[in-house]
């Protein structure tokens, strides 16, 4: 058995931030912990009427990802995300502790309009909070009303003390089934726009009427090794794609960094039946600096573990130089289909990617408003 701590609650309650800090505290204490946000495991649309909110899809993928984390050395897993108040997800081979976070309604309303990334009407968030308050699926509840983030984290850690005590056989690994379909990997070094461009292509594909999945490789790669582990990321990508394909998805857009040292081979082995395409975005030094330096104060989206958020300018300048050097290595290796994003906005870069023909599900210009 592997212990799993799942922090749930309505949007805006702070579950992702608290979960990430619990995870980092474990890592700092020498614990081989892993982390995933449940929303990252259900980005496949349009959703089915039989699984509104894609809760069962996310639970299936969570079981696979937790098993892979354990196989790659994790001794526990921290999870964040909304759960269906009427459905407690099963994670085979895991000893799950479901901890619900809540705040008073007035504070939830104040938090939500300013929540980076949006998420839905405030009335719906309040209704979700009330439904969770009335439910009984959680093992415990921690009220963080009026607490600053460090205080909220301390309250959760105190309330969940002992959640890592579990014994038994490790969770069963997901059954490997070679899965066909179109897979587009939008890659590159930090600052080239992999996430924003990949997501733009994903949205256009959805608007064209295709059932499509999206996956951020970094967000499924917070494993026990504490480093970029393409073998783990590939295993998780294969499991998630299998679930999306079973729902009828035609293609999968994945985003994430690549290297010039054979990382592609891990994904080729994990996705042997798919039709893959790697698009490598490139940008010049000036553009990389313009995109990376402001990230110390804000992120492009509220991603867990943003590696640049909060860094001082001097450290960000080092990130720029590292990106330039890594980009040069990728240029020499001629990795993937090269698209230069220098001087281009997100939509223009997406146009340039589609113009290469690497994404047959969507012709160049299709799906634009």
pLDDT one-digit tens code per residue, 266-280: 999 999 999 999 999
Q: Can you give the pLDDT at residue 3?
A: 95
CA gap 233, 230 in Å, rounded: 5
CA gap 68, 121 in Å, rounded: 36
Q: Say whether 182-355 and 2-159 share the same fold.
A: yes
CA gap 225, 276 in Å, rounded: 27
Q: Can you give the pLDDT at residue 123?
A: 80
Q: What is the pLDDT of residues 88-144, one digit of tens each?
A: 888 889 999 999 999 998 888 887 765 554 445 778 788 888 888 887 889 999 999
pLDDT at 246 over 90: yes
Q: Which residue has the higher pLDDT, 187 or 109?
A: 187
Q: What is the pLDDT of residues 43-79, one digit of tens each?
A: 999 999 888 889 999 999 999 999 999 999 999 999 9
pTM of this structure: 0.91
Q: What string of DSSP letters covers 313-361? A: HHHHHHHHHHHHHHHHHHHHHT-SEEEE-TT--HHHHHHHHHHTT--TT
Question: Per-domain residue ranges for the chain?
Answer: 2-159, 182-355
What CATH number labels 2-159? 3.40.50.300
Which CATH homologous superfamily contains domain 182-355?
Answer: P-loop containing nucleotide triphosphate hydrolases (3.40.50.300)
Query: Taking residues 281-288, what's their average pLDDT?
Result: 95
At residue 202, the 3 state secondary structure works out as helix
Q: Can you give the pLDDT at residue 52?
A: 86
Q: Can you give the pLDDT at residue 124?
A: 79
CA gap 166, 158 in Å, rounded: 18
Q: Can you give the pLDDT at residue 120?
A: 55
Q: Can you give the pLDDT at residue 221?
A: 95
């Amino acid at each position: 058995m592997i212990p799993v701590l799942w922090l749930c609650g309505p949007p805006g309650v702070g579950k992702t931030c608290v979960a990430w800090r619990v995870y980092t505290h474990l890592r700092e204490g020498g614990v081989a912990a892993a982390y995933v946000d449940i929303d990252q495991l259900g980005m496949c649309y349009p959703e089915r009427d039989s699984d509104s909110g894609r809760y069962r899809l996310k639970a299936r993928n969570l079981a696979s990802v937790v098993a892979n984390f354990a196989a790659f050395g994790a001794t526990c897993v921290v999870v964040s995300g909304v759960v269906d108040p009427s459905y407690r997800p099963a994670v085979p081979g895991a000893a799950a502790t479901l901890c619900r976070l809540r705040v008073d309604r007035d504070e939830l309303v104040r938090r939500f309009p300013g929540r980076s990334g949006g998420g839905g009407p405030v009335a719906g968030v309040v209704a979700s909070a009330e439904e969770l308050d009335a439910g009984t699926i959680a093992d415990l509840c921690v009220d963080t009303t009026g607490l600053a983030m460090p205080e909220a984290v301390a309250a959760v850690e105190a309330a969940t003390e002992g959640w890592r005590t579990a014994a038994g056989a490790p969770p069963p690994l997901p059954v490997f089934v070679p899965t066909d379909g179109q897979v587009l990997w939008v890659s590159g070094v930090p600052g080239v726009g992999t996430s924003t461009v990949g997501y733009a292509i994903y949205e256009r594909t959805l608007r064209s009427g295709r059932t499509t999945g999206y996956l951020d490789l970094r967000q499924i790669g917070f494993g026990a090794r504490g480093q970029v582990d393409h073998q783990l990321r590939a295993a998780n990508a294969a499991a998630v794609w299998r679930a999306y394909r079973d729902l009828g998805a035609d293609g999968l857009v994945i985003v994430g960094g690549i290297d010039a040292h054979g990382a592609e081979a891990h994904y080729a082995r994990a996705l042997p039946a798919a039709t893959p395409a790697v698009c490598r975005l490139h940008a010049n030094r000036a553009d990389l600096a313009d995109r990376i330096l402001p990230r110390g104060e804000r992120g492009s989206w509220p991603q867990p573990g943003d590696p640049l958020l909060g860094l001082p300018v001097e450290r960000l300048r080092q990130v720029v130089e590292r990106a330039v050097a890594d980009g040069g290595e990728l240029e020499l290796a001629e990795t993937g289909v090269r698209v230069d994003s220098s001087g281009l906005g997100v939509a223009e870069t997406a146009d340039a990617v589609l113009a290469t023909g690497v994404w047959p599900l969507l012709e160049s210009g299709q799906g634009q408003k």
